[in-house]
Amino acid sequence: MGATRRLAEAVALSRVPRPSKAAGSLLVSAGRLHDQSAVAVNPPVHRASTFLFNTLDDFEEAGRTPFDGPFYGRVGTPTIFAFESAMAELEGGHRTIATASGLAAISATFMAFATQGDHVLVVDTVYEPVRRFCDRLLARLGVEITYYDPRMGGDIERLIQPRTKLIYMESPGSGTFEVQDVPAIVAVAKAKGIKTALDNTWATPLFFKPIAHGVDVSLQSATKYIAGHSDAMLGAVTTTAEGYEAVRRATQDLGACAGSEEGNLGLRGLRTLEVRLRHHEASAFEVAQWLQVQPQIARVLHPALPSFAGHETWKRDFEGSSGLFAFELAGFDREAVHAMVDGLDLFKIGFSWGGYESLVLPVDPEKTRTVAKHTGAGPILRVHVGLEAVDDLKADLSSGLARLR
Ligand SMILES: *Cc1c(COP(=O)(O)O)cnc(C)c1O
């Protein structure tokens, strides 16, 4: 038996359900080769396009779909299988498929369930590049898209058409953090035989469990909290047993596979996910509470604040909040906002979030939304609260707010 086969079997072994543990314990050991002695603590990085087989029988065996072990690099390497196995365990799903980015995981999910003439429902507060994928590529392929209000819950039933195949959720919504009534939407979808998918990047599987809430496909931009250090692009799509084949085929056909280095960074990130996330949570909540009482602020958009519109739903369904939220200024023009943001020291201007560092970006929900119109007093800024000392972060924002005048 070749070394590659042994590794494949060991990774498969690590998928065997083990006694249930708290998330923190699971995060430390998931994806390891549990049946072997004297292995490195961290699964090694396997860089490979080609795997060699001793016999044609071995080759044919490895090529059986769904792929369970090394066959060709695009299908996965032992490093990728280790990351996938850890994610599946954490999500409580059947299997996880690693992809080149969060967006690759999302576009593959749409391609898995919708074809020409079908109809999909997509939340209006969706991450903007997903909207671009829908309006450009998906629409061109003949799929009809209806954007729905994130606050509609079970009322989504009246938007369902005979050819509706997928309800795509993201909760909380991008930029403005509307929390959806996922159980109500899932109940409608199940009654009608419609698949559901949810972008769970904000909460991660630590703070929200889509599969346990009846969702068929849980999506992660592992670029964010999973990798956690702003140095990798990685996606993860986790499905129920029923949804697995369709998503696996779509990711294979699209070819946007994750690289081994990135898979390794994802797996490494998982080890510290809980401590990082709880620190982000505590600091962000403290900053949000502090912002709420500053005179320059009209409203803080953070699901864990009791004043926030979606707070009760968040409290019912989620086990925590993360480091990303937004606030709306009480008026102020472009020039004032630029003066505030340009002078910030710890909050840097940049895309993405979920790394250890603090970030800030303007949000303009009016630009793209068609249903859930946002009416506010002034410009919105989205912040990611990093792992810096929280008093320094408040001081940075405080001097920023002073520059608004
Ligand atoms: C960043 C992000 C994505 C896309 O992930 P990439 O890894 O950047 O492709 C998807 N959904 C949400 C909510 C995101 O913030």
- Tens of pLDDT, residue by residue over 259-304, are 999 999 999 999 999 999 999 999 999 999 999 999 999 999 999 9
The average pLDDT across 334-352 equals: 96
Q: Is the pLDDT of residue 230 over 80?
A: yes
**Ligand 1 atom closest to the CA of 130, numbered from 1:** 10
pLDDT at 12: 53
Q: Are 101 and 34 in contact (CB under 8 A)?
A: no
- Over the chain, what is the mean pLDDT? 93
- Please tell me which residue in 95, 224, 248, 299 is annotated as part of the active site: 224
Query: Do 75 and 205 fall into the same domain?
Result: yes
Query: Do 125 and 144 fall into the same domain?
Result: yes
Q: Are 235 and 100 in contact (CB under 8 A)?
A: yes
Q: Is the pLDDT of residue 404 over 60?
A: yes
Distance CA 344, CA 132 (A): 31
CA 354 to the chain's CA centroid:
10
pLDDT at 108: 98
Which residues are CB-neighbours of 149 under 8 A, at least 6 positions away? Answer: 124, 371, 372
Query: Do 264 and 141 fall into the same domain?
Result: yes
pTM of the model: 0.94
Based on the residue annotation, tell me whether 224 is a catalytic residue of this protein.
yes
Show the CA angle centred on residue 270, arms to residues 264 and 273, nearest 5°: 145
Spatial strand order of the sheet with 348-349 comes to 297-301, 324-329, 380-384, 359-363, 348-349
pLDDT at 372: 81
Query: Do 184 and 54 fall into the same domain?
Result: yes
Q: Are 303 and 118 in contact (CB under 8 A)?
A: no
The average pLDDT across 360-382 equals: 90
Q: Is the pLDDT of residue 223 over 90?
A: yes
Element (H or E) spanning 235, and its range? strand 235-239
Q: What is the pLDDT of residues 3-59, one digit of tens each?
A: 445 445 545 544 545 557 888 889 998 988 767 788 888 889 999 999 999 999 999
Q: Are 185 and 67 in contact (CB under 8 A)?
A: no
Show the CA angle centred on residue 155, arms to residues 151 and 159, nearest 5°: 105
Query: Do 200 and 188 fall into the same domain?
Result: yes
Considering only residues 332 and 285, tell me which one the structure prediction assigns the higher pLDDT: 285
Which residues are CB-neighbours of 204 under 8 A, at least 6 positions away? Answer: 220, 225, 226, 273, 277, 322
Give me the CATH number covering residue 9. 3.40.640.10
Residue whose CB lies within 8 A of the most ligand 1 atoms, among 103, 226, 231, for a mutation test: 103
How many domains is the chain built from? 2
Phi, psi (rounded to 5 degrees) for 72: -145, 150
pLDDT at 13: 45
Query: Do 302 and 259 fall into the same domain?
Result: no
Is 100 close to ligand 1, i.e. is its CB under 6 Å away? no
Query: Do 290 and 181 fall into the same domain?
Result: no
* C-alpha dist (Å) from residue 200 to 224, 240, 356, 379, 386: 11, 15, 19, 26, 19
Based on the residue annotation, tell me whether 199 is a catalytic residue of this protein.
yes
Query: Do 199 and 337 fall into the same domain?
Result: no
Lowest mean pLDDT among 122-126, 195-199, 204-208, 329-333: 329-333
| pLDDT over 70, % of the chain | 94
**Ligand 1 atom closest to the CA of 351, numbered from 1:** 1
Query: Do 220 and 293 fall into the same domain?
Result: no
Residue whose CB lies within 8 A of the most ligand 1 atoms, among 125, 223, 229, 257, for a mutation test: 223
pLDDT at 64: 82
* Whole-angstrom Cα Rg for the chain: 22
Distance CA 85, CA 12 (A): 8
Query: Do 202 and 281 fall into the same domain?
Result: no
**Residues in the chain, overall count:** 405
Q: Is the pLDDT of residue 401 over 80?
A: yes
Q: Is the pLDDT of residue 114 over 90?
A: yes
Collapsed DSSP state (helix, strand, coil) of residue 384: strand
Q: What is the pLDDT of residues 303-327, one digit of tens each?
A: 999 999 999 999 999 999 999 999 9
Residue whose CB lies within 8 A of the most ligand 1 atoms, among 122, 127, 204, for a mutation test: 127
**Ligand 1 atom closest to the CA of 235, numbered from 1:** 7
Q: What is the pLDDT of residues 248-260, one digit of tens each?
A: 999 999 999 999 9
pLDDT band at 132 (very low <50, low <70, confident <90, very high): very high
Element (H or E) spanning 272, and its range? none
Structure tokens at 390: 């929280």
Q: Is the pLDDT of residue 2 over 80?
A: no
Query: Do 280 and 267 fall into the same domain?
Result: no
Going by C-alpha positions, the residue among 220, 222, 223 that lies closest to residue 209 is 220
Structure tokens at 325: 């939220």
Which of 255, 271, 287 is at the close of a domain? 271
> Which residue range forms the structural domain that includes residue 362?
273-403
Distance CA 334, CA 338 (A): 6
pLDDT at 21: 81
Query: Do 267 and 277 fall into the same domain?
Result: no
Pairing between strand 144-148 and 119-123?
parallel
Lowest mean pLDDT among 30-44, 66-80, 162-176, 344-358: 30-44
Which of 271, 300, 332 is at the close of a domain? 271
pLDDT at 58: 93
Which of 229, 250, 271 is at the close of a domain? 271
Is 53 close to ligand 1, i.e. is its CB under 6 Å away? no
Give me the CATH number covering residue 375. 3.90.1150.10
